[in-house]
Amino acid sequence: MTVHNLYLFDRDGVCLHYSEWHRKKQAGIPKEEEYKLMYGMLFSIRSFVSKMSPVDMKDGFLAFQTSRYKLHYYETPTGVKVVMNTDLGVGPIRDVLHHIYSGSYHPYPASYACMWSWW
Amino acid sequence: MAIFSVYVVNKAGGLIYQLDNYAPRAEAEKTFSYPLDLLLKLHDERVLVAFGQRDGIRVGHAVLSINGVDVNGKYTADGKEVLEYLGNAANYPVSIRFGRPRLTSNEKLMLASMFHSLFAIGSQLSPELGSSGIEMLETDTFKLHCFQTLTGIKFVVLADPRQGGIDSLLRKIYEIYSDFALKNPFYSLEMPIRCELFDQNLKLALEVAEKAGTFGPGS
Protein backbone atom coordinates (compact mmCIF):
# COMPACT_ATOMS: atom_id res chain seq x y z
CA MET A 1 0.00 0.00 0.00
CA THR A 2 1.51 3.29 -1.12
CA VAL A 3 0.35 6.70 -0.03
CA HIS A 4 1.24 9.36 -2.61
CA ASN A 5 0.09 12.60 -1.03
CA LEU A 6 -2.38 14.25 1.33
CA TYR A 7 -4.27 17.54 1.11
CA LEU A 8 -6.25 19.32 3.82
CA PHE A 9 -8.70 22.07 2.80
CA ASP A 10 -10.87 24.34 4.91
CA ARG A 11 -14.44 25.21 3.98
CA ASP A 12 -13.39 28.20 1.86
CA GLY A 13 -11.03 26.20 -0.33
CA VAL A 14 -7.82 27.35 1.33
CA CYS A 15 -5.24 24.55 1.42
CA LEU A 16 -4.35 24.16 5.07
CA HIS A 17 -1.81 21.41 4.65
CA TYR A 18 -0.10 19.34 1.93
CA SER A 19 2.19 16.33 2.47
CA GLU A 20 3.93 14.29 -0.18
CA TRP A 21 5.50 10.87 0.20
CA HIS A 22 5.84 9.03 -3.11
CA ARG A 23 4.91 11.20 -6.02
CA LYS A 24 6.30 10.27 -9.43
CA LYS A 25 4.54 12.90 -11.50
CA GLN A 26 3.99 16.56 -10.66
CA ALA A 27 0.94 18.36 -11.99
CA GLY A 28 2.97 20.68 -14.20
CA ILE A 29 1.48 23.81 -12.64
CA PRO A 30 2.56 25.85 -9.56
CA LYS A 31 1.53 24.44 -6.17
CA GLU A 32 -1.00 27.21 -5.51
CA GLU A 33 -2.72 26.46 -8.81
CA GLU A 34 -2.69 22.77 -8.08
CA TYR A 35 -4.45 23.27 -4.74
CA LYS A 36 -7.09 25.41 -6.42
CA LEU A 37 -7.59 22.85 -9.17
CA MET A 38 -7.88 20.02 -6.67
CA TYR A 39 -10.41 21.92 -4.57
CA GLY A 40 -12.37 22.94 -7.65
CA MET A 41 -12.47 19.38 -8.90
CA LEU A 42 -13.75 18.11 -5.53
CA PHE A 43 -16.36 20.85 -5.33
CA SER A 44 -17.60 19.97 -8.82
CA ILE A 45 -17.61 16.24 -8.07
CA ARG A 46 -19.72 16.84 -4.94
CA SER A 47 -22.25 18.89 -6.86
CA PHE A 48 -22.25 16.36 -9.73
CA VAL A 49 -22.82 13.46 -7.35
CA SER A 50 -25.66 15.13 -5.46
CA LYS A 51 -27.53 15.71 -8.74
CA MET A 52 -26.83 12.27 -10.23
CA SER A 53 -27.71 10.23 -7.17
CA PRO A 54 -30.94 8.26 -7.57
CA VAL A 55 -31.79 8.51 -3.86
CA ASP A 56 -30.94 10.97 -1.07
CA MET A 57 -27.33 10.53 0.03
CA LYS A 58 -25.95 10.29 3.55
CA ASP A 59 -22.17 10.30 3.18
CA GLY A 60 -21.94 11.53 -0.39
CA PHE A 61 -18.83 11.23 -2.52
CA LEU A 62 -16.37 8.73 -1.04
CA ALA A 63 -13.57 8.00 -3.52
CA PHE A 64 -12.65 7.71 -7.17
CA GLN A 65 -10.04 5.66 -8.96
CA THR A 66 -8.19 5.82 -12.26
CA SER A 67 -5.95 3.22 -13.85
CA ARG A 68 -3.02 4.21 -11.59
CA TYR A 69 -4.23 5.80 -8.35
CA LYS A 70 -7.18 6.15 -6.02
CA LEU A 71 -8.31 9.37 -4.42
CA HIS A 72 -10.05 9.09 -1.04
CA TYR A 73 -12.22 11.90 0.28
CA TYR A 74 -13.58 12.77 3.70
CA GLU A 75 -15.47 15.90 4.66
CA THR A 76 -16.37 16.97 8.18
CA PRO A 77 -19.62 18.77 9.01
CA THR A 78 -17.60 21.98 9.44
CA GLY A 79 -16.43 21.80 5.84
CA VAL A 80 -12.84 20.65 6.44
CA LYS A 81 -11.84 18.28 3.62
CA VAL A 82 -9.22 15.54 3.90
CA VAL A 83 -8.02 14.15 0.55
CA MET A 84 -5.55 11.31 0.17
CA ASN A 85 -4.10 9.76 -3.00
CA THR A 86 -3.02 6.14 -2.70
CA ASP A 87 -2.31 3.24 -5.04
CA LEU A 88 -5.10 0.96 -6.23
CA GLY A 89 -4.84 -1.84 -3.69
CA VAL A 90 -6.45 0.19 -0.91
CA GLY A 91 -10.01 -0.34 0.34
CA PRO A 92 -12.19 2.20 2.12
CA ILE A 93 -10.08 4.32 4.51
CA ARG A 94 -12.73 6.79 5.65
CA ASP A 95 -11.94 6.05 9.28
CA VAL A 96 -8.23 6.73 8.67
CA LEU A 97 -9.06 10.11 7.16
CA HIS A 98 -11.39 10.83 10.07
CA HIS A 99 -8.55 9.97 12.43
CA ILE A 100 -6.20 12.31 10.57
CA TYR A 101 -8.72 15.07 11.14
CA SER A 102 -9.71 14.32 14.74
CA GLY A 103 -6.38 13.01 15.98
CA SER A 104 -3.94 15.33 14.26
CA TYR A 105 -5.67 18.42 12.92
CA HIS A 106 -8.37 18.92 15.48
CA PRO A 107 -6.63 18.91 18.88
CA TYR A 108 -3.62 21.01 17.90
CA PRO A 109 -4.52 23.93 15.64
CA ALA A 110 -8.01 24.08 17.10
CA SER A 111 -6.78 24.54 20.66
CA TYR A 112 -4.75 27.57 19.74
CA ALA A 113 -6.96 30.59 20.34
CA CYS A 114 -5.19 32.49 17.57
CA MET A 115 -6.31 29.89 15.03
CA TRP A 116 -10.01 30.68 15.40
CA SER A 117 -10.05 32.33 11.98
CA TRP A 118 -9.38 29.00 10.25
CA TRP A 119 -12.84 27.79 11.22
CA MET B 1 -28.76 -4.86 -7.36
CA ALA B 2 -29.54 -2.67 -10.32
CA ILE B 3 -28.09 -0.63 -13.10
CA PHE B 4 -29.54 2.87 -12.91
CA SER B 5 -28.47 4.55 -16.14
CA VAL B 6 -26.14 4.58 -19.13
CA TYR B 7 -24.60 7.67 -20.72
CA VAL B 8 -22.48 7.85 -23.88
CA VAL B 9 -20.29 10.95 -24.24
CA ASN B 10 -18.49 11.92 -27.45
CA LYS B 11 -14.94 13.27 -27.93
CA ALA B 12 -15.99 16.86 -27.34
CA GLY B 13 -17.84 16.10 -24.12
CA GLY B 14 -21.34 16.21 -25.59
CA LEU B 15 -23.94 13.66 -24.56
CA ILE B 16 -24.91 11.46 -27.51
CA TYR B 17 -26.97 8.80 -25.78
CA GLN B 18 -28.74 8.41 -22.47
CA LEU B 19 -30.84 5.61 -20.99
CA ASP B 20 -32.53 5.51 -17.58
CA ASN B 21 -33.00 1.88 -16.71
CA TYR B 22 -34.13 1.93 -13.12
CA ALA B 23 -34.90 4.84 -10.88
CA PRO B 24 -35.68 4.07 -7.23
CA ARG B 25 -37.66 7.07 -6.18
CA ALA B 26 -38.23 7.97 -2.57
CA GLU B 27 -41.49 9.90 -2.62
CA ALA B 28 -43.75 11.08 0.18
CA GLU B 29 -47.35 12.19 -0.19
CA LYS B 30 -49.00 14.04 2.66
CA THR B 31 -52.11 16.08 3.30
CA PHE B 32 -51.53 19.59 4.58
CA SER B 33 -53.72 22.24 6.09
CA TYR B 34 -53.17 25.99 5.95
CA PRO B 35 -50.63 27.37 6.74
CA LEU B 36 -48.01 25.09 5.20
CA ASP B 37 -45.28 24.35 7.72
CA LEU B 38 -42.65 23.77 5.04
CA LEU B 39 -40.81 26.61 3.39
CA LEU B 40 -40.91 26.29 -0.39
CA LYS B 41 -38.78 28.19 -2.85
CA LEU B 42 -38.55 28.48 -6.60
CA HIS B 43 -35.24 27.25 -7.99
CA ASP B 44 -34.35 26.38 -11.59
CA GLU B 45 -38.01 26.32 -12.70
CA ARG B 46 -38.93 23.91 -9.91
CA VAL B 47 -40.60 24.32 -6.52
CA LEU B 48 -38.22 22.88 -3.91
CA VAL B 49 -38.37 22.42 -0.14
CA ALA B 50 -36.03 24.95 1.46
CA PHE B 51 -36.77 24.32 5.14
CA GLY B 52 -38.97 22.11 7.30
CA GLN B 53 -37.58 18.63 6.69
CA ARG B 54 -39.75 15.91 8.25
CA ASP B 55 -41.44 12.54 7.67
CA GLY B 56 -39.57 11.55 4.54
CA ILE B 57 -39.73 15.02 3.01
CA ARG B 58 -36.15 16.26 2.76
CA VAL B 59 -34.65 19.61 1.89
CA GLY B 60 -34.11 19.70 -1.86
CA HIS B 61 -37.15 17.57 -2.67
CA ALA B 62 -39.42 18.99 -5.36
CA VAL B 63 -43.21 19.27 -5.51
CA LEU B 64 -44.17 16.40 -7.84
CA SER B 65 -47.95 16.52 -7.71
CA ILE B 66 -50.79 18.39 -6.02
CA ASN B 67 -54.02 16.50 -5.22
CA GLY B 68 -52.90 13.68 -7.50
CA VAL B 69 -52.34 15.89 -10.53
CA ASP B 70 -48.71 16.10 -11.74
CA VAL B 71 -47.08 19.48 -11.49
CA ASN B 72 -45.32 20.95 -14.54
CA GLY B 73 -42.25 22.84 -13.32
CA LYS B 74 -43.57 25.79 -11.34
CA TYR B 75 -47.10 25.55 -12.76
CA THR B 76 -49.84 23.08 -11.97
CA ALA B 77 -51.40 21.10 -14.83
CA ASP B 78 -54.15 23.76 -15.17
CA GLY B 79 -51.57 26.54 -15.59
CA LYS B 80 -51.79 28.09 -12.10
CA GLU B 81 -48.58 28.98 -10.27
CA VAL B 82 -47.79 26.44 -7.56
CA LEU B 83 -46.53 28.91 -4.96
CA GLU B 84 -49.57 31.16 -5.48
CA TYR B 85 -51.91 28.18 -5.26
CA LEU B 86 -50.33 27.00 -2.02
CA GLY B 87 -50.39 30.51 -0.56
CA ASN B 88 -54.16 30.69 -0.87
CA ALA B 89 -55.96 29.35 2.24
CA ALA B 90 -59.10 28.54 0.20
CA ASN B 91 -57.32 25.68 -1.61
CA TYR B 92 -56.66 23.71 1.59
CA PRO B 93 -56.68 20.90 2.72
CA VAL B 94 -54.35 19.87 -0.08
CA SER B 95 -52.43 16.66 -0.73
CA ILE B 96 -48.89 17.23 -2.04
CA ARG B 97 -46.39 14.63 -3.22
CA PHE B 98 -42.70 15.42 -2.69
CA GLY B 99 -39.69 13.57 -4.03
CA ARG B 100 -36.22 13.87 -5.55
CA PRO B 101 -36.54 15.98 -8.70
CA ARG B 102 -35.99 14.09 -11.95
CA LEU B 103 -33.19 15.37 -14.16
CA THR B 104 -34.28 17.26 -17.27
CA SER B 105 -32.51 16.49 -20.58
CA ASN B 106 -30.69 19.82 -20.33
CA GLU B 107 -29.36 18.92 -16.91
CA LYS B 108 -28.22 15.54 -18.19
CA LEU B 109 -26.33 17.27 -21.00
CA MET B 110 -24.63 19.59 -18.52
CA LEU B 111 -23.75 16.76 -16.14
CA ALA B 112 -22.25 14.70 -18.95
CA SER B 113 -20.04 17.60 -20.02
CA MET B 114 -19.10 18.23 -16.39
CA PHE B 115 -18.03 14.61 -16.04
CA HIS B 116 -16.00 14.86 -19.27
CA SER B 117 -13.97 17.71 -17.69
CA LEU B 118 -13.64 15.99 -14.31
CA PHE B 119 -12.34 12.89 -16.11
CA ALA B 120 -9.55 14.98 -17.66
CA ILE B 121 -8.68 16.77 -14.42
CA GLY B 122 -8.44 13.40 -12.63
CA SER B 123 -5.75 12.45 -15.09
CA GLN B 124 -3.90 15.75 -14.80
CA LEU B 125 -3.72 15.71 -11.00
CA SER B 126 -2.40 12.17 -10.93
CA PRO B 127 0.63 11.54 -8.69
CA GLU B 128 1.56 8.56 -10.91
CA LEU B 129 2.74 8.49 -14.50
CA GLY B 130 0.48 7.33 -17.30
CA SER B 131 -2.79 7.55 -15.44
CA SER B 132 -6.11 7.43 -17.24
CA GLY B 133 -9.03 9.61 -16.23
CA ILE B 134 -11.65 8.67 -13.61
CA GLU B 135 -12.62 5.05 -14.23
CA MET B 136 -14.74 4.49 -11.17
CA LEU B 137 -16.36 7.00 -8.82
CA GLU B 138 -17.81 5.77 -5.58
CA THR B 139 -20.50 7.25 -3.35
CA ASP B 140 -22.67 5.65 -0.68
CA THR B 141 -25.72 5.35 -2.97
CA PHE B 142 -24.23 4.53 -6.40
CA LYS B 143 -21.03 3.70 -8.28
CA LEU B 144 -20.19 5.38 -11.55
CA HIS B 145 -18.06 3.36 -13.99
CA CYS B 146 -16.47 4.92 -17.05
CA PHE B 147 -14.72 3.34 -19.99
CA GLN B 148 -12.95 5.56 -22.51
CA THR B 149 -12.24 4.03 -25.91
CA LEU B 150 -9.14 4.74 -27.99
CA THR B 151 -11.22 7.11 -30.11
CA GLY B 152 -12.29 9.25 -27.13
CA ILE B 153 -15.87 8.01 -26.68
CA LYS B 154 -16.81 7.51 -23.02
CA PHE B 155 -19.34 4.92 -21.89
CA VAL B 156 -20.61 5.79 -18.42
CA VAL B 157 -22.73 3.42 -16.32
CA LEU B 158 -24.34 4.30 -12.98
CA ALA B 159 -25.09 1.25 -10.89
CA ASP B 160 -25.80 0.05 -7.37
CA PRO B 161 -22.54 -0.09 -5.36
CA ARG B 162 -22.85 -3.86 -4.97
CA GLN B 163 -23.48 -4.61 -8.65
CA GLY B 164 -20.65 -6.57 -10.26
CA GLY B 165 -19.65 -7.29 -13.83
CA ILE B 166 -19.77 -3.67 -14.92
CA ASP B 167 -16.36 -3.81 -16.62
CA SER B 168 -17.51 -6.53 -18.98
CA LEU B 169 -20.82 -4.68 -19.43
CA LEU B 170 -18.91 -1.57 -20.54
CA ARG B 171 -16.95 -3.61 -23.10
CA LYS B 172 -20.25 -5.15 -24.25
CA ILE B 173 -21.81 -1.69 -24.69
CA TYR B 174 -18.78 -0.71 -26.80
CA GLU B 175 -19.40 -3.79 -28.95
CA ILE B 176 -23.10 -2.92 -29.32
CA TYR B 177 -22.14 0.67 -30.22
CA SER B 178 -19.77 -0.48 -32.99
CA ASP B 179 -22.26 -3.06 -34.31
CA PHE B 180 -25.47 -1.03 -34.31
CA ALA B 181 -24.43 2.62 -34.34
CA LEU B 182 -21.14 2.75 -36.24
CA LYS B 183 -22.11 0.19 -38.85
CA ASN B 184 -25.39 2.01 -39.46
CA PRO B 185 -24.87 3.92 -42.74
CA PHE B 186 -27.24 6.68 -41.65
CA TYR B 187 -25.44 7.37 -38.40
CA SER B 188 -22.97 10.29 -38.33
CA LEU B 189 -20.02 10.11 -35.96
CA GLU B 190 -20.19 12.11 -32.72
CA MET B 191 -23.91 12.81 -33.27
CA PRO B 192 -26.77 11.70 -31.01
CA ILE B 193 -27.45 7.99 -31.42
CA ARG B 194 -30.96 7.33 -32.72
CA CYS B 195 -30.70 3.68 -33.79
CA GLU B 196 -33.48 1.36 -32.70
CA LEU B 197 -31.27 -1.73 -32.79
CA PHE B 198 -28.77 -0.01 -30.50
CA ASP B 199 -31.57 0.69 -27.96
CA GLN B 200 -32.91 -2.85 -28.10
CA ASN B 201 -29.58 -4.57 -27.77
CA LEU B 202 -28.46 -2.23 -25.02
CA LYS B 203 -31.59 -2.98 -22.96
CA LEU B 204 -31.00 -6.71 -23.48
CA ALA B 205 -27.39 -6.37 -22.36
CA LEU B 206 -28.47 -4.50 -19.21
CA GLU B 207 -30.98 -7.22 -18.37
CA VAL B 208 -28.34 -9.92 -18.76
CA ALA B 209 -25.86 -7.95 -16.66
CA GLU B 210 -28.36 -7.43 -13.84
CA LYS B 211 -29.39 -11.08 -13.72
CA ALA B 212 -26.10 -12.85 -14.29
CA GLY B 213 -23.75 -10.32 -12.79
CA THR B 214 -21.16 -11.11 -15.42
CA PHE B 215 -20.93 -11.94 -19.09
CA GLY B 216 -19.68 -15.33 -20.15
CA PRO B 217 -16.94 -15.70 -22.80
CA GLY B 218 -18.15 -15.50 -26.36
CA SER B 219 -21.23 -13.36 -25.66
Q: At residue B123, what are phi and psi to the nearest 5 degrees?
A: -75, -35
Residue B111 maps to a domain? yes
Nearest to B118 among A34, A41, A56 (CB): A41
Q: What is the CATH classification number for the domain harbouring B111?
A: 3.30.450.70
DSSP strand E in chain B: where? 3-9, 15-20, 27-32, 39-43, 46-51, 62-66, 69-70, 94-99, 136-139, 143-148, 154-159
Rounded to whole angstroms, the Cα distance separating A61 from A51 reads 12
Residues of A in CB contact (< 8 Å) with B are 4-5, 20, 22-25, 27-28, 34, 37-38, 41, 44-45, 48-49, 51-69, 71, 85, 87
Chain A: closest CA distance from residue B88 (Å): 30
Q: Which residues of A touch B117 (CB under 8 A)?
A: 44
Nearest chain A Cα to B135, which residue?
A66
Q: Are both B160 and B79 inside the same structural domain?
A: no
Ordered by where they begin, the domains of chain A are: 3-105 (3.30.450.70)
Residues 6+ apart with CB under 8 A from B137: A45, A49, A61, A63, A64, B143, B144, B146
Q: Kindly state whether residues B33 and B54 are assigned to the same domain.
A: yes
B218 occurs within a structural domain:
no
Q: Are residues B113 and B12 in the same domain?
A: yes
φ, ψ at A93 (rounded to 5°): -125, 35
CA distance A70 to chain B (A): 9
Structural domains counted in chain B:
2
Nearest CA in chain B to A65: B136
Choosing from B77, B99, B121, the residue where a domain stops is B99
Q: Which residue of B has its CA nearest to A87?
A: B128
> Does any domain span residue B151?
yes
Contact flag B23-A54 (C-beta cutoff 8 Å): yes
Question: What is chain B's pLDDT, residue by residue, as a tens digit (219 residues)?
Answer: 689 999 999 999 999 999 998 877 778 888 888 888 888 888 888 888 888 888 888 888 888 888 888 888 888 888 888 888 888 888 888 888 888 888 889 999 999 999 999 999 999 999 999 999 999 999 999 999 999 999 999 999 999 999 989 999 999 999 999 999 999 999 999 999 999 999 999 999 999 999 876 544 444
- Kindly state whether residue B124 falls inside one of the protein's structural domains: yes
Please indicate, yes or no, if residue B173 is contained in any of the structural domains. yes
Asked if residue A20 lies in contact with residue A4, where contact means CB atoms within 8 angstroms, the answer is yes
Domain assignment present for residue B217? The answer is no
Tell me, yes or no, whether B136 and B207 share the same domain.
yes
Q: Confirm whether B8 is domain-assigned.
A: yes
- Does B120 lie in the same domain as B203? yes
Name residue B158's beta-bridge partners: B5, B144
| Amino acid B217: pLDDT | 44
Chain B nearest C-alpha distance from A76 (Å): 16
Taking CA–CA distances from A41, the nearest residue in chain B reads: B118
Q: Are B88 and B183 found together in one domain?
A: no
Among B80, B99, B118, the domain boundary falls at B99
Residue B219 lies in a domain: no
**Contact (CB, 8 A) for B97 and B65:** yes
Complex ipTM, two decimals? 0.87
Which H or E run contains A86? strand A81-86
For A34, name the nearest residue in chain B, comparing CA atoms only: B125
Which residues in B lie closer than 8 A to residue A85 (C-beta atoms)? Answer: 127
Instruction: Identify the residue among A58, A62, A66, A67 best suited for mutation to test binding to B, counting B beta carbons within 10 A and taking the highest.
Output: A66
Shared domain for B12 and B59, answered yes or no, is no
Under the banding of pLDDT at 50, 70 and 90, the label for residue A38 is very high
Element (H, E) at A83: strand A81-86
pLDDT at A88 over 80: yes
Own/partner long-range contacts of B40-47 (Cβ < 8 Å, ≥24 apart): B40/B82, B40/B83, B40/B86, B42/B74, B42/B83, B45/B73, B45/B74, B46/B73, B46/B74, B46/B101, B47/B71, B47/B74, B47/B82, B47/B83
Instruction: Report the distance separating Cα A29 and Cα A105, nearest Å.
Output: 27
Upstream peptide bond of A30 is cis (omega within 30 degrees of 0): no
Residue B191 is given by DSSP the state: S
CA dist., res. B148 & res. A22, Å (int): 27
Q: Can you give the residue range of the structural domain that contains B48?
A: 27-99
Query: Is there a single domain that holds both residue B56 and residue B89?
Result: yes
Q: Are residues B15 and B115 in the same domain?
A: yes
Convert the pLDDT of each residue in A92-103 to its tens digit: 899 999 988 888
Strand arrangement, sheet containing B136-139:
A15-20, A3-9, A81-86, A70-75, A61-65, B136-139, B143-148, B154-159, B3-9, B15-20
Assess whether B45 and B138 both reside in one domain.
no
Q: Record the pTM.
A: 0.88
CATH of the domain at B82: 2.30.42.40
Contact A52 B24 (CB under 8 A): no
Q: Cβ contact (<8 Å) for A54 and B135? A: no
Which of B66, B99, B132 finishes a domain?
B99
Long-range contact set of residues B74-82: C-beta below 8 Å, sequence gap at least 24: B74/B42, B74/B45, B74/B46, B74/B47, B82/B40, B82/B47
If asked whether residues B108 and B208 sit together in one domain, one would say: yes
Do B51 and B147 share a domain, yes or no? no
Taking alpha carbons only, the member of B42, B148, B25, B44 closest to residue B98 is B25
